[in-house]
Structure 1
Amino acid sequence: MPHINLPAGVPGIRSLFSFRPETAAPLNLLAQTLLHNPHPTLTAGERELIATYVSSLNNCKYCATIHGAIAKHQLGNDGETVKRLVTDMENAPVSDKLKALLRIAAKVQTGGQNVTETDVAEARNEGATDLEIHDTVLIAAAFCMYNRYVDGLATFQPDDDELYDQMGAIRAREGYHSGPLTLKKNEAVTEAS
């Protein structure tokens, strides 16, 4: 049960965005920019994997599950890569460069000052650019905030993986600018009015 009066049937951060549209606009724009908009080198799927990985490290069920579902769809319906990433990142079927970036993201998740020159050098040795390192740190830092926002107000977090998959498909296709998705029992995910 949420700690504050949030819209019924609207899961996770989307309920918080509905509750306070003034703060939702910049937070949503940040997510759109970091995860969905075109990037010179990191695919949307790779950026969603960073968000998923950090959210799983933070034990944020909603964010880890929804961003995992978005990543799945961004990666051509590849749910196995997402599962492997959150259970055994070092052996996940992703590039060595992405693994180096994920190691940096994990350091950010525990505290920004934990990122070392060695971590950055290792990412560069795998081909990571300054932009990719920057964006990885920003995605990790932003998702620590988003995760704490979602969990700190005890938002509604459904247990139905199919609903997350439906929401993930919509977000992968449309990005973060579309409105909140409402879950109705025994019905498909619908766009809230």
Structure 2
Amino acid sequence: MAWIKQIEYEESEGKLRKIYDRIKGEDNYIDNILKVHSLRPYSLEGHMALYKYVLHNSTNTFPMHFLEAMGTYVSALNNCSYCVDHHFTGMRRLLGNHTKADLIKKALLSDQPEMVFEEKECALFEYAKKLTKDPEKITQQEIKKMKALGFDDGEILEINQVVSYFCYANRTVLGLGVSTKGDILGLSPNDQSEDDSWSHS
């Protein structure tokens, strides 16, 4: 559901149907955040490419559950309950420890990552918060701090892109009134072995 028209799978045709066939889950299921692009299939294709390559790339350094936690945190900072619900559910499934996952959620939603993460990881969350809320205030000092804690340039880029992706996704959702009505929470393109595999499960 959203404030603008969405084309359902059964009504889709042409380029949109081809993209839907790449991303659909069981019973031709498509997340609302993706269906909201349906009037502009090239926009949907761009969104999915960014999402897959940034968050679900097999060469990422950080574990998938940590990147999902980062996305949950950024979405909470942006007051985007849609993405919080989806990506916390995904993180919880990937982590495989519901008690720990619930503690992480409590820490992130209260803006206290230090409750569950180590100092080194907290520096990444500090960077994520500043990039989300006050990007113009970031200086080279933030980068130097992360490097001093042992993160290399590629890892810093990885976090930068995950945070930036979620800010984009949050604004897509919030700006178009996308809701979780009818959605199945926590699905994602989990086949990381193939870059072109976008199917949700």
**What TM-score do the two structures reach when normalised by structure 2?**
0.74
Instruction: Structure 2: give runs of 5+ residues left out of the alignment.
Output: 9-28
The equivalent of 1:74 in structure 2 is 94
Distance, in Å, in 2 between the alignment partners of 1:40 and 1:63 is 21
CA shift for structure 1 position 105: 1.0
The equivalent of 2:73 in structure 1 is 53
8 A contact 2:113–2:125 mirrored in 1: no
Is residue 41 from structure 1 mapped to residue 61 from structure 2 by the alignment?
yes
Is residue 96 from structure 1 mapped to residue 119 from structure 2 by the alignment?
yes
CA shift for structure 1 position 43: 0.9
How many correspondences in the alignment?
Answer: 174
Higher Cα Rg, which structure? 2
Question: Structure 2 residue aligned with 1:139, among 162, 169, 181?
Answer: 162
Distance, in Å, in 2 between the alignment partners of 1:83 and 1:77 is 14
* 3-state SS of paired residue (2:69): helix
Distance, in Å, in 2 between the alignment partners of 1:72 and 1:172 is 16
Q: Percent identity?
A: 28
Is residue 122 from structure 1 mapped to residue 145 from structure 2 by the alignment?
yes
Cα RMSD after superposing both structures: 2.6
CA shift for structure 1 position 61: 0.8
CA shift for structure 1 position 58: 0.3
Distance, in Å, in 1 between the alignment partners of 2:109 and 2:31 is 22
8 A contact 2:72–2:88 mirrored in 1: yes
Shifted more, 94-103 versus 76-85: the winner is 76-85
The equivalent of 2:185 in structure 1 is 167
Q: Give a deviation string over 1:123-154, Cα, whole Å, max 9, x none.
A: 12222111121121222122111111111111
8 A contact 2:52–2:189 mirrored in 1: no
CA shift for structure 1 position 35: 1.3
Question: Structure 1 residue aligned with 2:199, among 175, 178, 191?
Answer: 178
Is the alpha carbon distance of 1:14 and 1:108 closer, same or farther for their aligned partners in structure 2, counting shifts above 3 Å? same
8 A contact 2:2–2:179 mirrored in 1: yes
Q: Give a deviation string over 1:150-176, Cα, whole Å, max 9, x none.
A: 111111234xxxx87x531x3274578
8 A contact 1:71–1:82 mirrored in 2: no
Distance, in Å, in 2 between the alignment partners of 1:111 and 1:7 is 36
8 A contact 1:2–1:156 mirrored in 2: yes
8 A contact 1:11–1:156 mirrored in 2: no
Distance, in Å, in 1 between the alignment partners of 2:31 and 2:64 is 22
Instruction: Structure 1: give runs of 5+ residues left out of the alignment.
Output: 180-190
8 A contact 1:45–1:71 mirrored in 2: yes
The one-letter amino acid of 1:3's match is: W
**What TM-score do the two structures reach when normalised by structure 1?**
0.77
